């Protein structure tokens, strides 16, 4: 019995999903986390909303804050057009290592680059070190107390352009009240709320989309 939950999730994927089939990896993680052990993947209900917004945005450049085991990274990567640049930031090296193996098994490792470290340390390096100009799409799913400071940091670092789409998970549970207050009261954002439920639970949650107006 592997010692940590994330390793057990990876083992379940390796034994139950189909190598090179991203959707089977997503489905296997959802099956394990709804039947065996809860984990903080965005899940299928919110995941379908994520899919719709990624497809509508059709980003050339995408950023994810909070990789965890790579569940949302696989969902996003499978929707990206060829040649799109997708970076995902993960502070926890153990989780980053699990996500790397999930991406490789799903066959999306060529589409996605994991940046290990804290968002506050990595965001200021994105233009210089990672040759990024601006992001078309950003999925915010790390720690809710970083949502607002990192959004401001993205603005200050010139990483947003007119039309950049920010999509934040967990704005109801665990909650990101200061982020909602910031983007909903800032004239530079056009906000839309997508009511849903906490992954694998009946608890209410929601995604918030904030489109940067420039
Ligand atoms: O989707 C999520 C859910 C939770 C979470 C934790 C504990 C609970 F009881 C309920 C929900 C934490 C998260 N942290 C970072 C990114 N996403 C998260
Ligand atoms: Mg989340």
Query: Cβ < 6 Å from ligand 1: which residues?
Result: 40, 66, 141-143, 169-170, 173-174, 198-199
Average pLDDT taken over every residue of the chain? 98
CATH 3.30.70.270 describes domain 5-212: no
Q: pLDDT of 179-196, one tens digit each?
A: 999 999 999 999 999 999
Q: How far is the CA of 84 from the centre of ligand 2 (A)?
A: 23
CA distances from 110 to 35, 99, 136, 147 (A): 31, 13, 19, 28
Q: What is the ipTM of this complex?
A: 0.99
Best residue among 65, 119, 150, 170 to mutate for probing ligand 1, ranked by most atoms within 8 Å of CB: 170
Could you tell which of 30, 34, 40, 69 is best to mutate to test the pocket of ligand 1, judged by most ligand atoms within 8 Å of the CB? 40
E runs forming strands in the chain: 61-65, 85-90, 112-116, 135-140, 160-168, 189-197, 204-212
- The pLDDT-based confidence of 24 (bands split at 50, 70, 90) is very high
| Ligand 1 midpoint to CA 111 (Å) | 26
């Amino acid at each position: 019995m592997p010692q940590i939950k994330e390793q057990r999730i990876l083992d379940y994927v390796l034994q139950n999903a189909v190598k090179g089939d991203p959707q089977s990896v997503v489905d296997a993680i959802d099956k394990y986390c709804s039947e065996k052990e809860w984990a903080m993947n965005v899940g299928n209900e919110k995941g379908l909303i994520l899919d719709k917004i990624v497809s509508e945005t059709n980003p050339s450049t995408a950023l994810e804050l909070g990789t965890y085991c790579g569940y949302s990274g696989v969902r996003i990567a499978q929707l990206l057009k060829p040649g799109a640049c997708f970076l995902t930031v993960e502070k926890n090296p153990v989780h980053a290592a699990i996500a790397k193996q999930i991406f490789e098994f799903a066959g999306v490792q060529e589409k996605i680059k994991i940046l290990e470290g804290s968002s506050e340390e990595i965001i200021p390096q994105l233009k210089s070190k990672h040759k990024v100009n601006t992001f078309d799409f950003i999925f915010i799913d790390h720690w809710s107390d970083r949502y607002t400071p990192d959004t401001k940091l993205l603005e200050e670092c010139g990483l947003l352009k007119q039309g950049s789409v920010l999509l934040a998970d967990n704005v109801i549970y665990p909650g990101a009240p200061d982020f909602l207050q910031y983007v909903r009261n800032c004239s530079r954002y056009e906000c839309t709320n997508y009511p849903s439920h906490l992954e694998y639970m009946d608890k209410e949650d929601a995604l918030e989309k904030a489109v940067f107006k420039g």
